Amino acid sequence: MDELQTIKQRFEIIGNNELLNRALDVARQVAPTDLSVLITGESGVGKEFFPRVIHAYSTRKHAPYIAVNCGAIPEGTIDSELFGHEKGAFTGALSDRKGYFEVTDGGTIFLDEVGELPLATQSRLLRILESGEFIRVGSSKVQKTNVRVIAATNLDIPLAVKNGKFREDLYYRLNSIPIIVPPLRNRREDIPLLFRKFAADCAEKYRMPAIRLTPDAVAILEMYRWPGNIRQLKNIAEQISVIEQERSVDGATLKKYIPAESQLPALAGSNDPSEHTYASEREILYKILFDMKKDMNDLKQLVYDIAEKEQQAEAVPTSIVLRKQFEEPAGEFLAKRPVHAFTHAREQIEDTEPLVEESLAIGEKERELIIRALEKNHGKRKLAARDLGISERTLYRKLKEYRIEG
C-alpha cells in the first residue's frame, strides 16, 4: 500500500477507492513483464495515467514512450503513421518516413481508442503483437521491432467483435492483462478530494483564493452521476472558480453548473433500460437517506423547542435531559445534578414514572437507529456516524452504553 501511495504522488493520482487501488496494483504488478495490456473504462476516467505508470515501472523506462490517439488519425493515413511509408508510396509521400512502431523500438507504445482502428490496420497490429514484424506502406521489406503495446478503449470490445468491427484474435492478444478503470460514480468518496484538487490548481494558476464547498454542496457532488467522469468534474471546478465571486459555494450555486437533464431525478424516467443499474438505485437511495436525515434533525429541533417552552414549570428540566442524551448517558447527567435542584420538583410531581418511561422509549429508538445505520454501512462506524448526524466518538460511546456490537 505504501508503494501505491508513492505511485499516486508521483503521477498526481487522487483517490483511495478500492477499485482504483486494485487497478493501480495490477498496473504495478504487470509493469516488469512484456505482456500486452488492455485498459477499459468510460471516457474521462483517466485511462491515460495507467500506461505511464506501467512504462515508468518497467525495464523499458529509459526507452521511448509514445501515446497515439487512434481515433484522431484519418483512416487513410493511420497505417503510414503507425508503420511508416516509403518514398512515392502515395501522393504526398516525398521521402521515407519511420512509423511509431519503428521509432519506439525497445520502448512502449500506448494506443488510445484502439477500438477505432480499421480492420486492415488491426491485421497489421496483430502481426506485430505475434511476431514483432511489420512492413512499411509501399514496401515489401519485412522489418522487426521490439515494442510493448498498451491499448485503451471506452468501447464494449466484445460487442464490437460480435458486430464484426473488431478482430476477435486481436482482442484476445491485446487482453493478456485487463485493467478496468472505475467510473467516477463508483468512487463517491474520492469526488470531494478531486474537486478540492482541481479548485486548488485553478486558484494557484490564476492567483485567486480557492473555492470551498458547503456540506450540502458536497452531498450534491456525491449524488450526481457524472457521465463525463473526472473530465467533467474538472471543468465544473474550473468554471465555478473563475465565475463565482463568493469563495464559499453552496448547493444552490453548484446546481447551476450541473446539467439539469443529468441529475438524479431524471434517472427514473430514462428511456435507456441500461440506466436502471445498481449504481442508479444506490444514488436514489443516498438521496432518500439524505432527506430523511434532514427531516430527523428538524424533528429533533421541534422536540427541543417544545420542551424548552415547558420549562416554565419548576419541574425536572426535561428538555435538558433530552438534549443531554446525545451528549452523555441520562443517568450520569442526573447524578451530576445537586439534590436540592430536584426537591421542589418532587413536591409538584407525585409520580416520576412517566418521565422514566419516556426516556427509555427514546433510548430504545436511538439504539434501533444506531443498529440500522451500522447495518446500512456494513459496520463502518465513520459512515454510520455521518448518517446519524453525530461524531464518531459519540457513536463509540453509544455503542458501549447500549452494548451494541459494532
Convert the pLDDT of each residue in 174-203 to its tens digit.
999 999 999 999 999 999 999 999 999 999
Residue 295: per-residue pLDDT: 66
Least confident window among 64-73, 301-310, 383-392, 396-405 = 301-310
Residues 77 and 99: their CA atoms lie apart, in Å, by 11
Q: Give the model's confidence band at 388: pLDDT under 50 very low, under 70 low, under 90 confident, else very high.
A: confident
* 133 beta partners: 144
Alpha helices in 163-228 (DSSP H): 168-174, 191-206, 215-223
Alpha carbon distance 271, 264 (integer Å): 14
pLDDT at 142: 96
Reported as a pLDDT band with limits 50, 70 and 90, residue 92 is confident
Q: How confident is the model at residue 368 (pLDDT cuts 50, 70, 90)?
A: confident
Tell me: do 125 and 213 sit in the same domain. no
Domain residue limits at 267: 187-310
What's the confidence (pLDDT) of residue 280?
44
Residues 117 and 29 in one domain: yes
Does 224 have pLDDT greater than 60?
A: yes
In a domain, 391, yes or no: yes
Q: Residue 24: CB partners within 8 Å, gap ≥ 6?
A: 4, 7, 8, 13, 50, 53
Whether 33 and 153 map to the same domain: the answer is: yes
Q: Looking at residue 390, what is its pLDDT?
A: 83
Contact 352, 316 (CB under 8 A): yes
Flag whether 406 is in a domain: no
- Check which CATH number belongs to the domain holding 26 and give it: 3.40.50.300
Same domain, 326 and 274: no
In a shared domain, residues 89 and 229: no
With CA atoms as reference, report the closest residue to 103 among 88, 84, 122, 125.
Answer: 84
Question: For residue 336, what is the enclosing H or E element?
Answer: helix 330-336
Between CA 321 and CA 327 the distance in angstroms is 10
In angstroms, how far is CA 37 from the centroid of its own chain?
Answer: 23
pLDDT level of residue 241 (50, 70, 90 thresholds): very high
Quick one: pLDDT at residue 292? 67
Neighbours of 284 (CB within 10 A): 14
Q: What is the pLDDT of residue 2?
A: 82
Question: pTM for the whole thing?
Answer: 0.64
The residues with which 151 forms a beta bridge, in sequence order, are 38, 111
Least reliable range by pLDDT among 148-157, 220-229, 274-283: 274-283
Which of 74-88, 104-118, 260-274, 292-306 is the least confident region?
Answer: 260-274
Residue 39 backbone phi and psi in degrees, to 5: -105, 125
Average pLDDT over residues 127-144: 95
Cell match 505508470: residue?
53
Lowest average pLDDT, out of 104-108, 245-249, 329-333, 369-373, goes to 329-333
Question: With bands split at pLDDT 50, 70 and 90, how would you rate the model's confidence at 290?
Answer: low
Q: State which amino acid sits at residue 29.
A: Q
As a whole number of angstroms, the distance between CA 225 and CA 188 comes to: 10
- Of 217, 212, 184, nearest to 200 by C-alpha is 212
The rounded distance, in Å, linking the Cα atoms of 254 and 332 is 44
Residues 291 and 273 in one domain: yes
Domain tally, the chain: 3
Q: How many Å apart are CA 190 and CA 387, to the nearest integer?
A: 18
357 and 234 co-located in one domain: no
pLDDT of 373 over the 70 cut:
yes
Query: Does residue 150 share a domain with residue 38?
Result: yes
In the prediction, which pLDDT does 334 show?
46
- Other Cβ atoms less than 10 A from the Cβ of 7: the count is 19
CA-based nearest residue to 68, from 120, 27, 104? 104
**68-72, 163-167, 253-257, 386-390: segment of lowest average pLDDT:** 386-390
b/e per residue, 227-239, with b = 16+ CB within 10 A?
A: ebbbebbbebbbe
Residue 116 pLDDT exceeds 90: yes
The DSSP element (H or E) to which 230 belongs, if any, is: helix 229-243
Same domain, 153 and 136: yes
Q: Which residue has the cell 468491427?
A: 165
More confident: 393 or 59: 59
Give yes or no for residue 24 having a pLDDT over 50: yes
Q: Where among 182, 210, 228 does a domain terminate?
A: 182
Amino acid 375: pLDDT: 83
State residue 312's pLDDT score: 54
| Shared-domain flag, residues 301 and 253 | yes
Residue 81 lies in a domain: yes
Query: In this structure, is the dihedral angle defined by the CA atoms of residues 342, 344, 347 and 349, taken in order, positive or negative?
Result: negative
Instruction: Give the residue from 182, 216, 236 where a domain finishes.
Output: 182
pLDDT of residue 91: 85
The set of cell numbers assigned to 79 is: 497505417
Mean pLDDT, range 228-245, rounded to an integer? 95
pLDDT at 362: 66
Q: How confident is the model at residue 141 (pLDDT cuts 50, 70, 90)?
A: very high
Instruction: Identify whether residues 10 and 65 lie together within a single domain.
Output: yes
Within 10 angstroms of residue 269's Cβ, the number of other Cβ atoms is: 7
Q: Is the domain of 202 the same as that of 303?
A: yes
Gap between the Cα atoms of 280 and 39, Å rounded: 24
What average pLDDT does the structure give for the chain?
82
